[in-house]
């Protein structure tokens, strides 16, 4: 090719092969005093890439400065004081969802004649009232034998786990007897408002009934409950400690 010397062609070939791996080599050839070519001759006012890189380096370093706060790397654009501490909190700071009062329903919407099912924190609950029917407070029997116009007295609203201790049948499918006990619909076992087993029709003797009652698993799983301003509240944890903690905590 006219106008291009052999030296220029060799320089061009070498620069092309090096361009893919080290683009700065091209500028090395063009600035070398022993090899001066019109193809690589710098125009007036042109700045060396190395100088440009050196000038840009402080700016890049300024933008990418890293500060250390609590062993975490943070860019210099974010003040250290604004860094949020994401370290795990202690167990004492964590909220326990089972150690709090929860409102269930206004009691005026509840039926004192039958147990009702509710769900709280993915737990099945049965709400019922242990009031006794007037004139039959100590008697168990059919509702047909009630005196005409007999009413159920104001008892206490109870909250149990909706599961019979005997065969895990929902207690909400049972009924409230005239003596204020909750009866399971499967085998007619009955419990008092304090969650104690009081009757087992299949027991052949008083001794057998006492033996069944002596088993701690015969008790229903009951939860603390109370009515505040006409609203039924429940503490979704059972046991003696739960009753003490719930008594010391205000429902609000």
Integer-rounded Cα radius of gyration of the chain: 42
Is the pLDDT assigned to residue 234 strictly greater than 60? yes
The Cβ-side half-sphere exposure at 167, using a 13 Å CA radius, reads 7
For residue 248, pLDDT over 60 is answered with yes
67 versus 124: the higher-pLDDT residue is 124
The confidence score (pLDDT) of residue 163 equals: 97
The answer, yes or no, to whether residue 83 has pLDDT greater than 50, is no
pLDDT of residue 29: 45
Q: Give 42-57 pLDDT, tens digit per residue.
A: 545 545 555 544 554 5
| pTM, 2 dp | 0.61
Angstrom CA distances, 228 to 130, 153, 154, 232, 250, stand at 18, 19, 15, 7, 10
Condensed to tens digits (0 to 9), the pLDDT of residues 152-206 reads 888 999 999 999 999 999 999 999 999 999 999 999 999 999 999 999 999 999 9
Q: Is the pLDDT of residue 2 over 60?
A: no
Residue of 219 and 49 predicted with greater confidence: 219
Q: What is the pLDDT of residue 73?
A: 44
Alpha helices in the chain (DSSP H): 6-19, 24-31, 49-63, 206-213, 240-247
Q: Identify the pLDDT of residue 250.
A: 92
- Asked if residue 148 has pLDDT above 90, the reply is no
**11 closest CA partner among 30, 1, 3:** 30
pLDDT in tens, 84-142: 455 555 556 788 999 999 999 999 999 999 999 999 999 999 999 999 987 764 556 66
* Percentage of the residues of the chain whose pLDDT score is greater than 90: 52
C-alpha–C-alpha distance, residues 198 and 192, integer Å: 7
DSSP 8-state secondary structure symbol assigned to residue 43: P
Give residue 40's pLDDT band: very low, low, confident or very high (50, 70, 90): very low
pLDDT at residue number 20: 52
């Amino acid at each position: 090719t006219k106008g291009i010397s052999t030296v220029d062609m060799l320089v061009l070939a070498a620069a092309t092969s090096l361009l893919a791996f080290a683009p700065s080599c091209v500028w090395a050839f063009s600035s070398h005093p022993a090899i001066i070519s019109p193809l690589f001759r710098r125009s007036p006012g042109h700045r060396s890439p190395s100088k440009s890189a050196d000038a840009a380096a402080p700016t890049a370093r300024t933008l990418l400065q890293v500060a250390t706060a609590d062993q975490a790397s943070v860019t210099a654009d974010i003040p250290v004081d604004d860094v949020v501490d994401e370290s795990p909190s202690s167990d004492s700071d964590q909220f326990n969802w089972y150690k709090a009062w929860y409102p269930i329903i206004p009691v005026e919407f509840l039926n004192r004649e039958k147990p009702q099912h509710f769900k709280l924190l993915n737990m099945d609950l049965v709400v019922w009232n242990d009031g006794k029917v007037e004139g039959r407070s100590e008697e168990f029997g059919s509702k047909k034998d009630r005196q005409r116009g007999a009413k159920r007295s104001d008892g206490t609203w109870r909250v149990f786990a909706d599961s019979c201790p005997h065969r895990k049948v929902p207690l909400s499918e049972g009924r409230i007897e005239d003596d204020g006990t909750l009866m399971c619909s499967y085998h007619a076992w009955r419990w008092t408002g304090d969650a104690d087993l009081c009757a087992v029709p299949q027991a052949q003797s008083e001794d057998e009934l006492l033996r069944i009652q002596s088993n701690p698993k015969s008790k229903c799983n009951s939860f603390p409950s109370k009515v505040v301003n006409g609203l039924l509240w429940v503490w979704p944890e059972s046991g003696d400690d739960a009753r003490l903690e719930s008594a010391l905590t205000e429902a609000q």
